[in-house]
């Protein structure tokens, strides 16, 4: 199931996902894969609405974004190039890229097929960076939000099945890749109550309930607003995220 193939879900994603999740991650990737100089040619796989592609473009000479959902790509910003493509079937020649990034999407992929494609289209010495920024459901200074998310939101809108497995160095080696670096850091991001509602409405758990299950999205938004707004003692409030980056190096043939 591609939860982001629905036009309404893509619209909410474009509205609700904060762009500033991506630049600090891209800074760390760039510092590892190309310290002191711009990255050459980069591919942003499962780029969605192009927020990650935009962040990557500030650190690379040439960037291409690829996503399976034409509805998500409809929101992708110029001037970067975009292609509609499956991560497991990339329409590019062998050894075409110096860097591939996958942000917040690896858990949706057939990881073995994708790693085979990444190994094929990366140049020897090129890099694959897989990252995620986990929303920890913690409002700084107010534990009521975390309790509400666990007891109310997550029970009402459970996350749909996904593959959280992270390949080992040995498994990656089957595709010519070596786990060369792993980075993790914590950060906070500011949200107003309305921004947090928009963010939650973009989650696959809500898409599963609304676009797949037929629940009225306006009613979901009203419930979220009524539940969340009283917890904001001031706006914006800070929320905690945990970011992890796995960086694989393409080995020589």
What average pLDDT does this structure show over 114-124? 98
Residue 2 lies in a domain: no
pLDDT score at 2: 87
pLDDT of 253 higher than 80: no
Residue 142 lies in a domain: yes
Residue 1 lies in a domain: no
Cβ–Cβ < 8 Å for 26, 56? yes
- What confidence category does residue 117 fall into, taking pLDDT thresholds of 50, 70 and 90? very high
Handedness of CA 206, 208, 210, 213 (dihedral sign): negative
Report pLDDT digits (tens) over 140-181: 999 999 999 999 999 999 999 999 899 999 999 999 999 999
- What confidence category does residue 246 fall into, taking pLDDT thresholds of 50, 70 and 90? very high
- The pLDDT mean for the chain works out to 96
CATH number at residue 57: 3.40.50.150
Interior/surface letters 16-36, b for 16+ CB within 10 angstroms, e for the rest? bbeeebbbebbebbbeebbee
Left if phi > 0, otherwise alpha if psi is -120 to 50, otherwise beta: which for 50?
A: left
Pairing between β-strand 81-84 and β-strand 122-139 as defined by DSSP bridges: unpaired
Q: How far is CA 216 from CA 86, 204, 210, in A?
A: 30, 15, 6
Residue 65 lies in a domain: yes
Residue 199 lies in a domain: yes
**Cα–chain center distance at 11:** 16
Report pLDDT digits (tens) over 8-45: 999 999 999 999 999 999 999 999 999 999 999 999 99
The whole domain housing 73 covers: 7-250
Left if phi > 0, otherwise alpha if psi is -120 to 50, otherwise beta: which for 125?
A: left
Report pLDDT digits (tens) over 66-114: 999 999 999 999 989 999 999 999 999 999 999 999 999 999 999 999 9
Tokens linked to 40: 């050459």
Residue 113 lies in a domain: yes
Q: Output the DSSP codes for 141-201.
A: TBTHHHHHIIIIIHHHSPPPP-------HHHHHTTTEEEEEEEEEEEEEEE-HHHHHHHHH
Residue 44 lies in a domain: yes
| Count of the separate structural domains present in the chain | 1
Q: Which residues are bridge partners to 191 per DSSP?
A: 237
Residue 191 lies in a domain: yes
């Amino acid at each position: 199931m591609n939860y982001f193939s629905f036009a309404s879900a893509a619209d909410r994603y474009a509205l609700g996902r904060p762009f500033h999740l991506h630049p600090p991650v891209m800074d760390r990737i760039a510092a590892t894969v190309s310290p002191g100089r711009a990255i050459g040619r980069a591919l942003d796989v499962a780029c969605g609405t192009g927020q990650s592609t935009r962040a990557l473009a500030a650190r690379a000479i040439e960037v291409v974004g690829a996503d399976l959902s034409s509805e998500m790509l409809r929101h992708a910003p110029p001037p970067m190039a975009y292609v509609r493509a499956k991560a497991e079937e990339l329409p590019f020649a062998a050894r075409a890229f110096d860097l591939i990034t996958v942000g917040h999407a690896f858990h949706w992929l057939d990881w073995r097929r994708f790693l085979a494609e990444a190994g094929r289209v990366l140049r020897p010495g090129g890099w694959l960076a897989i990252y995620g920024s986990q929303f920890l459901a913690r409002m700084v200074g107010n534990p009521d939000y975390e309790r509400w998310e666990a007891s109310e939101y997550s029970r009402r809108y459970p996350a749909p099945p996904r593959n959280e497995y992270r390949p080992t160095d040995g498994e990656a080696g089957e595709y010519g890749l070596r786990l060369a670096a792993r980075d993790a850091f914590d950060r906070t991001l500011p949200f107003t109550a309305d921004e947090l509602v928009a963010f939650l409405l973009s989650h696959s758990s809500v898409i599963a309930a609304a676009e797949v299950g037929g629940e009225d999205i306006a009613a979901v938004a009203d419930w979220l607003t009524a539940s969340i707004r009283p917890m904001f003692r001031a706006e914006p409030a800070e929320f905690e995220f945990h970011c992890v980056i796995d960086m694989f190096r393409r080995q020589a043939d």
